[in-house]
Structure 1
Amino acid sequence: MSEVAQIEGRVRYSAFKKTVKVMITPTDSLDNLKAQLNTYFEHLGENQYTRHLFGQMPCIDLGEDRDEYAWKTASYMPLLIRDDGDVGFMFRNMVEDNILYMYVRSICNCIECK
């Protein structure tokens, strides 16, 4: 990617059910992104590794009463990051105010992980 500045990532790790603020260097490689996130697992003393990565696209359903209830309906639409193309899409379209929301699943029983 052409940008070299780091962005703030707010990553929810399934292993310890906490959201961690991390600094991420934008990349077009899924393996590189997983390696960056795994360094935070190691820093936190976890013996876990990134199996599945989800980008969290902020979206708001304003509903009928836009003023009073808008803050209650803010949510995130998850997107499974499967390959390098998805990583590029995530950095181009999901970074808002230099912040990227992600979810990392380290323990999985899906067919791909067995």
Structure 2
Amino acid sequence: MTYQPNRRQIAAVKKHERSVLRQWEREQDLSWLSGAEFPSLAALGLPWWQLLPLAAYVQFRTWRERVTARQRLAELGRNALHDLGIDPGQAAFEAEQPFWRPHSLQRAADHNG
């Protein structure tokens, strides 16, 4: 006799696969080029003292993502930058920025149009 999963198990696996796919799509997103940040913590409706640890975590994660994004940007070649519509000079300038500064890089199509 072979094992056959029931409908609940199949649905749970599919739900997990969708959530993993959404997470992967977010990680592959180039929204860091537009300077997108985390949503406001004030929307949670918690007292300020309960938001402090969460705010510190969000700030640390934002800074870490900026460092990673700038490292990846510095590693891109001239052809890859051209494919993304980014000027190599702008990319070099952005890659040298400190982690506490928000992204100022714009794609050539966004900048010219």
TM-score by length of 2: 0.23
Structure with the greater relative contact order (CA < 8 A, sep ≥ 6): 1 or 2?
1
TM-score by length of 1: 0.23
If each structure's helix is expressed as a fraction of its own residues, which one has the higher value?
A: 2
If each structure's strand is expressed as a fraction of its own residues, which one has the higher value?
A: 1
Q: Which protein shows a greater Rg?
A: 2
